[in-house]
Structure 1
Amino acid sequence: MVKCPRCGYENSPSSVYCDNCAYRLADAEGNRINNSQRQSSWNMGLGKKIVIVLGIIVVAFLLFSFVYNNTQPSYQDSLNVITDDGSNYQTSSYPYKAVIKYDGSWYAEMGDPNYLVKESGYGNKSFVLDCAAWDKIAIDAQKQDSGEGNLTVQLLKNGEVVDEKSTANASSHLVINYNY
């Protein structure tokens, strides 16, 4: 007996068509038609499909994160102030340098007034300012301790002092505004 895949009727083994619904059971030569579902490479459970798709998404996310993090500048690369020991030649692309002289602890904000960079330190330091020749320059410095010495702030342009201020007062601010 041959069971019809459409209606389930039991037909005789020699039947080409189903006696109940006329569904074709054999071809012209009498070969039985295989009505089973086709096998495909994507024929797997829903759970496996979800795991594969999630795995692809996770790998893509990790790859994107790795590429993104390796193309971003580091914290040190993104600072606007470059510490200078004075041994390097001052280039004309950044002509300004701030020099702070004090034998103690100090705090300063310097650079373009709209984008001041905050620095604190101890002792004498110099900083190349990320400002063009036509930019406004602001420096605000103060002592962080009650030391007796003078706090001196100099603004240099192409190696020459263009403004200098000094104080011995522990609570006062030294302010230099240039190109205003």
Structure 2
Amino acid sequence: MAESGEASVGREMGEEQGKGNGNGNSTAAGWVEDLQRTVKESTDSAIRSARSLQQNSSTHIRSLQDFVPHAASQFATYENAFFDTVKGELMKAKEHPAASIGIAFTAGLLLMRGPRRFLFRQTLGRLQSEEAQFVKAENNVKGLNISVDVMKKESEKLLERAALAEKDMKLGH
């Protein structure tokens, strides 16, 4: 149906071209044949592309289907190794309860925030150079001096306000 519509369009265009010269029918027929050949080639190309896509997708699906059992067996192997290791460590913990309690206590301390922070600060403090420790101490002193100055200014303002309030109270305002 589309070809007949295209052919009629081709005929019309050929007729328009043929009005000026006497061989309009041969030009129109050639144009229509070219159009039909182009449509057929495009259709064949689209069909080949669809078949290629189908073959490629089925190839990928087959490769995925081949990979899944291999991946499942690897997962099972690693899962067994993990649980065997855990089982072995639990047996060791059962055989040596004192060491297990010490390790559990140490792990518990490291998991808590306060002891972990204390440990890191003490360790990192010993690894720092004297210059770095001195700079850190100077920065802390500067920060404390700034906060002391702010507190002094706030206390002066409060004392001024208290004096004004006392004066207003005495005057009866």
TM-score, with structure 1 as normaliser: 0.29
TM-score, with structure 2 as normaliser: 0.30
- Which structure features the higher share of strand residues? 1
Return the index of the structure with the highest Cα Rg: 2
